[in-house]
Amino acid sequence: MLQKSGILFDEVHTSLLRRSIRTTNLILMEMGQEYIPVYKNWRLNERNYGDLVGHHKKEMVKKHGVEQVKRWRRSYDEPPPAMADDHKYHPALDPRYRDMLNKIPKSESLKCTMERSSVYWDNIIAPSLKQEKTVLIVGHENNLRSLIMRLEGIPKEDVINLCLPRAVPLAYRLDENLKPLDRADGQLDEATGFLRGEWLGGDTAVKEILERDRKQVYDTSIEECLETGSSRDKWRTWMEFAIGKPQPEMVAKSAGSCLEDGGMGTSKRVA
């Protein structure tokens, strides 16, 4: 989708999580832009889901109820239970974070995530955009939600209804004050009803993906994975050939196995 869009990037910003780094590498390979700078920072990591990390979403819905899990996943200022010090996936066990453990909370709300992502936006991304660079941010759903919430001015009481699909690029055109310009049709997107950005996959396709994801997480009558199928299996086989089988961190944090969501999104252009 990005290749067909004709967008060329000046730089990429992503997190320290391997899935986002691998996504970045694949994108740049497909676009023939491996030469541009790539900046990695923990402030673009997915939010810390605390004690829920490593647990299947649907199992948590069955245990805690739909409304509670939705508030943990989507509300503005209600974090999940804190991660125990002996948790299997505690950041203290990961060498990437050994020098910043004092900065990583044991659980995060969207508000907490916005506070750290805003530091990176203000200090690193915004100056690049003001230099009229076209920027690609490869991130994670809640980290991107925090950036988009600020960019679009979405009220905290409404952001619980903002969901983002995985791996569908969202392109923004920004004015000199880094405010989103209107879409060509002058309307907000049909998929979420909040955004002035353009879904490169089209509003209809994104709306269908979001509905599928909603059922996958919250509809306890559905046991099978709605993303599986022959095309999904072919993609997985190709990915394993290209980059190897998932490592333990990928298994623990993939969108299908726990409550850490993956995704790619927002380009003075942000894509």
pLDDT of residue 164: 96
Provide the 10 A C-beta neighbour count for residue 244: 10
Over residues 104-121, the mean pLDDT reads 95
Q: Quick one: average pLDDT of 151-164?
A: 96
Q: What is the per-residue pLDDT for 2? A: 87
Residue 257 scores a pLDDT above 70 = no
In Å, how far from its chain's centre is CA 22? 14
Supply the mean pLDDT for the chain: 86
HSE toward the beta carbon, residue 153, CA cutoff 13 A: 4
Name the pLDDT band for 29 (thresholds 50, 70, 90): very high
pTM for this structure?
0.82
Supply 174's token pair. Answer: 């920004």
Q: What is the pLDDT of residues 135-149, one digit of tens each?
A: 999 999 999 999 999
pLDDT surpassing 50 at residue 268: no
Q: Cα dist. 44→106, 143, 163, 174, 219 in Å?
A: 17, 6, 18, 20, 30
Percent of the chain with pLDDT over 90: 71
Rounded CA separation 243/122 (Å): 33
Using CA atoms, how far apart are residues 254 and 5, in angstroms rounded to an integer? 27
CB atoms within 10 A of CB 202: 15
Determine the average pLDDT of the residues in 250-271: 40
Helix (H) or strand (E) holding 60: helix 57-64
Distance CA(140)–CA(180), nearest Å, equals 20
